[in-house]
Amino acid sequence: MLSTTTADDDDLGDEFKGPNTGRPTVPTLIEWEGPGERVYATGTFAGWNKKYKLHRNGPSKKKDALSAYVPIAQGTHHLMFIVDNDMRTSDKLPTAVDYTNILVNYLEVSAEDVPKPATGSAKEKSGPDAATPVQEREAPSGVYPPQVLPPTPELQPIKAPLPEPAKPKVPEPTKKYHQNIPRYLLDLDAPEESSRFARANATTNNLPTPPSLPGFLGKSILNGTTPMKDDSSVLIHPNHTVLNHLATSSIKDNILATSATTRYKQKFLTTIMYKPKEENPDHLY
């Protein structure tokens, strides 16, 4: 961005020389009609590294307008004004947003509306009363007047499509709890040679795997090494995590064993119950 040490027209004289790009330039009238004492113009036509001072008694015909002719190459250029050391945009020129997302003015310099310079030589008068000959000045080659674009049309906001109404949720059926045991669980107690057991076993194979047993519940104190070899009734000290948990064993020889360990003050009591398997599948135990 432009600094306070950037050269302006006070340093370079009355003739403003733009960047030496080798392209033809057009003396473009730049005006500032707003408030301000010291106003400069800068933009892409000067590479943003040079500023041109606008004068109160400049070439503009508008009252109280600060203006100056600036040589600008053909094309579209971004423009900003430095008003009392403050970067501003003019309300009289169209605006746009540059690649850094900053609001700037812009103008277009074109060679289409350039009037052709009049050709002809001035007639010289002779004699003592002859007036001083007036030399006609022609515009330099490649210099054209500017062309100002019309204001940018306002963009109409795009209406967002109306949201579709949400579909009503289908109420889920109410869950009912009961105490009826599924038949296939009862058929698991049937003889292995029966068709009922085969159907129940096939059904259980399609069921999801039950959650794994916590590791501490798998450490049974039964059938373990006792601290006293001569007294099998004295068991090892149980972990507190297995207290008040029901432990069962696999059915072997049609006998099911269950146990539970409780604590009373500083002592632990383990109760083991054995029960034979019922031959009647309809009987629950």
Residue 212 inside a domain? The answer is: no
Strands (E), the chain: 25-32, 39-43, 52-54, 66-73, 75-83, 86-88, 95-97, 103-109, 246-248, 255-264, 267-276
* Residue 126: predicted pLDDT: 46
Altogether, the residues listed in the chain come to a count of: 285
Model pLDDT, residue 281: 52
pLDDT, tens only, 192-226: 888 888 888 888 888 888 777 777 666 666 666 66
Do 96 and 185 lie in one domain? The reply is no
Both 260 and 192 in one domain: the answer is no
Q: How far is CA 120 from CA 117, 135, 137, 138, in A?
A: 10, 11, 11, 11
Q: Is residue 61 part of a domain?
A: yes
31 with 86, same domain: the answer is yes
Residue 9 has pLDDT above 60, yes or no: no
- If asked whether residues 191 and 257 sit together in one domain, one would say no
Specify the residue for token string 């730049």. 30
Helices (H) and strands (E) in the chain, counts: 3, 11
117 falls within a domain = no
Residues 271 and 242 both lie in one domain: yes
From residue 273, give the alpha-carbon distance in Å to each of 117, 239, 247.
123, 21, 10
Give the model's pLDDT for residue 54.
92
pTM over 0.75: no
**Each residue of 150-198: pLDDT tens digit?**
676 776 777 777 888 888 888 888 888 888 888 888 888 888 888 888 8
- Mean pLDDT of all residues in the chain? 75
Domain boundary among 60, 94, 109: 109
List pLDDT tens digits, range 69-100: 988 888 888 999 999 988 899 988 899 888 77
pLDDT beyond 70 at 112: no
Q: Please report whether residue 118 resides in a domain.
A: no
Q: Which CATH number fits the domain that encloses residue 245?
A: 2.20.25.290
DSSP for 19-72, please give it: ---SS-EEEEEEEE-SS-SSEEEEEGGGTTS--EEEBTTSS--STT-EEEEEEE
Number of domains in the chain: 3
Q: What is the CATH number of the domain that holds 71?
A: 2.60.40.10
**Residue-number span of the structural domain to which 200 is assigned:** 180-205
d(CA 285, CA 277): 9
What local confidence, expressed as pLDDT, does residue 39 receive? 93
Residues 27 and 56 reside in one and the same domain: yes
Evaluate whether residue 201 is within a structural domain: yes
